[in-house]
Amino acid sequence: MTILEGVLIILGMFVVTFGIRFCLYARAHKVVLPQWFDEALVFVPISVLSAIIAPMIFMQDDRVNISLDNPWFVGALLAFVVGLWRQNQLLTIAVGVIGFYLVKLLAS
């Protein structure tokens, strides 16, 4: 792939993404959503992120692995506990990553 092809692909993706969003936002002030629907939209990012991350945490070698030798599971579990306890995003991420790497280090 040449540089020109790469630039054209990126520009094409920009046009499609911007076009779809512009059409939706341009009509947004004309559409009134029900209150319950508007409140439910708050949970969309959390749901999407969970759907992306959950298979990575619980699946290892094409099977479910919920044990302490699974570094993804240990990191997620530690991050979950620290997140509930301290409610500090940076600390939660740091503890999860450190837990992940400690299990990886000990397993090798």
Quick: pLDDT tens for 29-85.
776 778 998 898 889 889 999 999 999 999 988 899 999 999 999 999 999 999 999
Residue 47 has a pLDDT of 92
Burial label for 102, CB within 10 Å (0-12, 13-18, 19+), is: middle
**Mean pLDDT value across residues 8-13:** 94
Could you give the count of Cα atoms lying within 13 Å of 56 in the half-sphere of its Cβ?
Answer: 9
Q: How far apart are CA 101 and CA 95, in angstroms?
A: 10
Inform me whether the pLDDT recorded for 24 exceeds 80.
no
pTM: 0.65
Tokens matching residue 83: 């997140």
Residue 37 has a pLDDT of 84
Higher pLDDT, 22 or 82: 82
CB 105 within 8 A of CB 69: no
Residue 68 has a pLDDT of 92
User: In this structure, how many other beta carbons lie within 10 angstroms of the beta carbon of residue 70?
Assistant: 21
Q: How far apart are CA 4 and CA 18, in angstroms?
A: 21
CB 74 within 8 A of CB 100: yes
CB 16 within 8 A of CB 24: no
